Amino acid sequence: MKLEPQIIYKDPDFLILNKPAGMLTHGIRNPHFAQPSPRLRPASKASRVRREVGIRNDELTVADWLLKNFPEVKNVGDDPKERPGIVHRLDRDTSGVLAVARNQKAFDYLKNLFQTHQVKKTYLALVCGWLKEKEGIIEKPIGILSGSVKRSVHLKAARMIKEAKTKYKVKQELMLQGKFSLVEVEPTTGRTHQIGVHLNSIGHPIVGDKLYGRKNPLNLSRQFLHADSIEFTLPSGSQLKIGVDLPEELSTALH
């Protein structure tokens, strides 16, 4: 089945999309990733990174879909050739709300809101175990592990270290095939893989997370992480809050 985002909000400045799991927000233009050289040995660093990212050269990304359906975004953004109109991103296996700017003025406006922490993004995650602290803040710097796309809070083995902060609140404790918790998560910084890294760092990895999870006890085909809602002030001064329900494969897993 062809993966495509759904439009859940549209005005002259912004689109809010519901991105399905399994779809990349945009491609990766590093030539070692997009078109690996035949001279690279299978065990090379670039090959390992490519396998971890799981790039397929022929797949449709959100960026491709935008250019086809909203061609006005062609020259919008800091890097419109790679990320036309896209101010933030969701990982491939994360579903849910994604905001897009339709013109450069709207892009600059929304980018500033993100940089000044005036955008509230809320996620739902199913994690292994019951959390001792039912509400809290995880504030741990995150860096990239050498030779990998993986991130870590163990900084001695990492580079490009950046501050990261994630709020969480347990919404429901479940007994499925063991103990699980449905957690509402609000990252106040926007680091790559931040939610997965932070939840794993406190001993409660996201179910189905192939990079940071320990196992997939519910046999999900994806990680249980969903961008539930986004909230920010429009240039007109009115407040916009948009949310989307859990996709069927996740809501079914809860029962």
- Alpha-carbon dihedral angle through residues 233, 23, 33, 56, given to the nearest 10 degrees: -160
- Residue of 91, 93, 209, 228 marked catalytic: 91
Give the residue among 177, 171, 194, 176 at the shortest CA–CA distance from 90: 194
The Cβ-side half-sphere exposure at 10, using a 13 Å CA radius, reads 7
Residues 70 and 50: their CA atoms lie apart, in Å, by: 30
Coil, strand, or helix at residue 160? strand
Within 10 angstroms of residue 190's Cβ, the number of other Cβ atoms is: 16
Give the pair of three-digit tokens for residue 105: 């003025």
Active site residue 64: no
Catalytically annotated residues: 91
